[in-house]
Structure 1
Amino acid sequence: MLLPVRIVDARVIVTCPGRNFVTLKIVTDEGVTGVGDATLNGRELSVAAYLTEHVIPTLIGRDPARIEDTWQYLYRGAYWRRGPVTMSAIAAVDTALWDIKGKVAGLPVYQLLGGRSREGVTVYGHANGDTVDDVLTAVASYVDLGYRAIRVQTGIPGLPVTYGVGKDKLFYEPADAAIPTESAWSTERYLSFIPSVFARVREEFGPTLKLLHDVHHRLTPIEAARLGRSLEPYALTWMEDPVPAELQEGFRLIRQHTTTPIAVGEVFNTIWDCEQLIREQLIDYIRATVVHAGGITHLRRIFDLAALHHVRSGSHGATDLSPVCMAAALHLDLAIPNFGLQEYMRHTPATDEVFPHGYHFADGYLHPSEAPGLGVDIDEDLAAKYPYRPASLPVNRLEDGTMHNW
């Protein structure tokens, strides 16, 4: 009788090729390896310690094929469930096990998830600038690259810095200092200015380009309703994170006042964070992602629930998701029936070298690798040349000094 395959090694790799990433590599006794992303922006070492101290010792000797059982073991067995640290650690294990299963089967992961539901994954890029003219130039550059959907962020007159506006137009990274930097915010300035930006973009680029905008949790429900109504003439594909989602019934008020679609969920960790929003159809796109929502296994559950309620996927895909997570997201995006959009912020050349991958961009679509598994790996020798560098996300205050959502 053949003995089952077992996990014989698992290790955490922390590297910083321009920004910090945490990667888990699992090895079986047959020499098959799988990788998973465990990056939690600004709190990377918390997840690295959780994996090293609490998770890896329980993996040694387990059957890597038992993905569901391992997921339940790590979730139910911890007792202190949920939260970004725990769920990012579980996600790394889950993603690595799917990678191994694909390699053993000789199939790309999307084939194990039911095969293709589409030919490619529509992605959106980030066009930003200090001024409206800068934004128009940035949008034009993304159109020239072939993007079919573009997120638009701009500087706000009277505010020294604004979320989403970076120094580098392709590689925006907000975690910029070991101790959080502080920025100032004015809701009044923001609400009075943003509609004019989208008026200019629509005038310049016409009615068919998909446009998105990230509010970044900064408004109250009635303020978000006002913004959504003011943006209706410009037919946004979505208004992202209009309010903090802890009080989910607040989304009902937004719904009562605007038809601008709503996207939310990049900070969600489990299906319970978005169950009410989905079930009551208070949102249009769910933005939970592989690395922060428990891996491929659990994110598929979220998307299946969403499919029953006319909610589509719109997964987070900023630069704090490594190419490992991006690869995993693409396999899931390709398979689910209710795909909407996938965020895609390009990684730096150094990051791409550390994480060699087979997915590629063409004509507005990302295509996952056809190699068995996820089609991505980590070059551990090269990763070691980029040591961890402390970097925190900023914090935000109103103009009078009151702490506000960043």
Structure 2
Amino acid sequence: MKITRVETFAVPPRWLLCRVETDDGVVGWGEPVVEGRAATVRTAVHELAELLVGRDPLRVEDHWQLMTKASFYRGGPVLSSAVAGLDQALWDIAGKHLGVPVHVMLGGPVRDRVRAYSWVGGDEPGDVGESVAAQVEAGFTAVKMNASGRMNRLATVRDIDLMVRRAAAARAALGDDRDFAVDFHGRFTTANARQAIPHLAPLRPLFVEEPVLPEHTHLLGEVTRSTTVPVATGERLFSRADFLPALQAGIAVAQPDLSHAGGISEVRRIASLAEVYDVQLAPHCPLGPVSLAASLQVAFATPNFLIQEQSIGIHYNKGAEVLDYLADPEVFAFRDGHIDRPTAPGLGIEVDEARVRAADGSAPDWRGPVWRHDDGSFAEW
């Protein structure tokens, strides 16, 4: 069996899918994308495809080594995301060829269902309670929300009070038997994070996410040591080497993204490294169906897995939804806030190829918003 073709598809709302075809008709799907830089990653995928075409797709690890190391310049979000999507597709091919789900090839399932959480926004405080209540009504046992909108470099009294009001509204809607997580989204300075998190502690969030920017990981320990609230990070860390300082800083939850951090191969290793530090895995996934499918395959085979992010109904999904690109959407059906273990081979999903081909290029490249402080200077989004 040989790889014969690699194709990419830019589809609404902001996703990039890749399709890897073999000479015996087995096809694998991946999702390589950097939100806001899909076209750049698309170019990288086709450059990396030169290393794959004509070769045996079952040599997944050897391909991963070549894709990540065969160039003198390594790493970064664009390259690691391109690798991630191709790695997902190769695992998909291997599972389909052998007739087993990917999680079986990773050692077999360690659980029968995976807990997932849903997004409720949070930039604006007024609708948080209603949004959380709707997710409770839908059966979810956990939600995640942004801590704030634009954040001042040093928080005002109002900044902190609005954050606490959002979180209190979520807790009131959830009661004591469900969870909420608070995403700081890198909008807070280290000083702001240290000041803000103690105000959240009485509301018992499941975790606070990305309290400092990834380039300030060396300051993360100051935050973890200042609170008993579990700290999570990792959506903008792309390798074991990137995660090591965060783990050493005392995070409680690692959040690699299966479409950014080198795919199934590297995230599985990140999970094992996290286990050494008694850290739980909660894969980041505000993306599409293939990224979620890959995340779930890792989740079912990972002992220290905690909870899975997913983007069905998220505010980013305008013009298309996760389920739109699946031949059988039932594979992502939520029951009591959980997804049952998939049994189909490979990634466990069947991509609606006709829908993907028809949607390719039908939406402009998504770009993140640009925020500014009141004085006109750049503000973190």
TM-score clears 0.5 = yes
Shift of 1:327: 0.4
Find the partner of 1:9 among 5, 8, 11.
Answer: 5
The answer to whether the 8 Å contact 1:37/1:322 transfers is yes
Give 1:71 deviation, angstroms: 0.2
Q: CA deviation at 1:210?
A: 0.9
Structure 1 residue 344 corresponds to structure 2 residue 310: yes
How far apart are residue 315 of structure 1 and its match?
1.2
Q: Structure 1 counterpart of 2:3, which letter?
A: I
2:75 is equivalent to residue 82 of structure 1: yes
- Per the alignment, residue 327 of structure 2 pairs with 356
1:253 correspondence with 2:222: yes
Does structure 2 conserve the Cα–Cα contact (< 8 Å) formed by 1:99 and 1:374?
yes
- 1:352 offset after TM fit, Å? 2.2
1:396 matched to 2:364? The reply is no
Distance 1:9 1:73 in 2: 18
Give the RMSD, CA atoms, in angstroms: 1.9
TM-score by length of 2: 0.91
What residue identity is the alignment partner of 1:23?
A: L
Give the distance between the partners of 1:15 and 1:106, measured in 2 at CA.
29
Aligned partner letter, 2:241:
W
| SS at 1:192 equivalent | helix
Question: Displacement, 1:257?
Answer: 1.7
Structure 2 partner of 1:42: 36
- Per the alignment, residue 266 of structure 1 pairs with 235
2:23 is matched with which residue?
29
**Paired residue secondary structure (1:198):** helix
Cα distance in 2 for partners of 1:369, 1:56 equals 29
Aligned to 2:194: 225
1:122 partner SS: strand
Cα distance in 1 between the residues matched to 2:236 and 2:327: 27
Matched-pair identity in %? 31
- CA 1:263 to 1:59, structure 2 compared with 1: closer, same or farther past 3 Å? same
The whole-number CA distance in structure 2 between the counterparts of 1:131 and 1:63 is 51
Is 1:376 paired with 2:376?
Answer: no
Aligned length: 369
Structure 2 CA distance for aligned equivalents of residues 103 and 267 of structure 1: 31
Following superposition, the deviation at residue 282 of structure 1 comes to: 1.9
Give secondary structure in 2 for the equivalent of 1:252.
Answer: helix
Deviation at 1:345, TM superposition (A): 1.7
Structure 2 counterpart SS, 1:257: coil
The equivalent of 1:385 in structure 2 is 358
Among residues 306, 310, 320, which one is paired with 2:278 in the alignment?
310
Distance (whole Å) between structure 1 residues aligned to residue 267 and residue 144 of structure 2? 23
Instruction: Confirm or deny: 8 A CA contact 1:129 1:138 kept in the other structure.
Output: no
- Residue in structure 2 matched with residue 118 of structure 1 by the alignment: 111
Where 1:87 maps in the other structure, the secondary structure is: helix
The separation in 2 between residues aligned to 1:223 and 1:74, in whole angstroms, is 39
Matched residue SS, 2:215: coil
Residues 1:322 and 2:288 aligned together? yes
| One-letter identity of the residue aligned with 1:360 | A
Tell me if the contact between 2:116 and 2:140 (Cα under 8 Å) persists in the aligned partners.
yes
Secondary structure of 2:277 counterpart:
coil
The gaps in structure 2 that reach 5 residues or longer are none
Secondary structure at 1:385's aligned position in 2? Answer: helix
Give the 3-state SS of the residue equivalent to 2:171 in structure 1: helix
Amino acid in structure 2 at the alignment position of 1:362: R
Query: Aligned letter for 1:352?
Result: L
Q: CA deviation at 1:57?
A: 2.1
- Assess, with a 3 A threshold, how the Cα gap between structure 1 residues 382 and 303 changes in structure 2: closer, same or farther: same
Match of 1:169 in 2: none
Question: What 5-or-longer segments of structure 1 have no aligned partner?
Answer: 157-161, 163-183
Q: Residue 324 of structure 1 contacts residue 377 of structure 1 at CA under 8 Å; is this kept in 2?
A: no
Amino acid at match of 1:277: A
**How far off is 1:120 after superposition?**
1.0
TM-score in terms of structure 1 length: 0.86
Post-superposition Cα deviations, 1:137-159, rounded to whole Å, max 9, x if no partner, equal 111111111111111347x6xxx
- For the residues of structure 2 that align with 1:392 and 1:376, how far apart are their CA atoms? 28
User: What are the Cα deviations for residues 328-360 of structure 1, in whole angstroms up to 9, with x where unaligned?
Assistant: 100101110100111112066654232335333
How many angstroms does 1:402 deviate by? 1.7
Instruction: Identify if the C-alpha distance between structure 1 residues 372 and 223 changes in structure 2 by more than 3 Å, giving closer, same or farther.
Output: same
Q: CA deviation at 1:132?
A: 4.5
1:211 corresponds in structure 2 to 180
| TM-superposition CA deviations, 1:309-342 (whole Å, max 9, x none) | 0111111121xx2201100100101110100111
SS in 2 for 1:72: helix
* Partner SS for 2:358: coil
Aligned to 1:107: 100
Any conservation in 1 of the 2:118–2:140 contact (CA below 8 Å)?
A: yes
1:368–1:375 contact (8 Å) kept in structure 2: no
Contact 1:6 1:29 in 2 (8 A): yes
Q: Residue deviations 1:77-122, cap 9 Å, x none? A: 0221101111111111111110011111111111111111112111
2:55 equivalent to 1:62: yes
- CA deviation digits over 1:371-406, x for unaligned, max 9? 111122433332233324122101222222221221
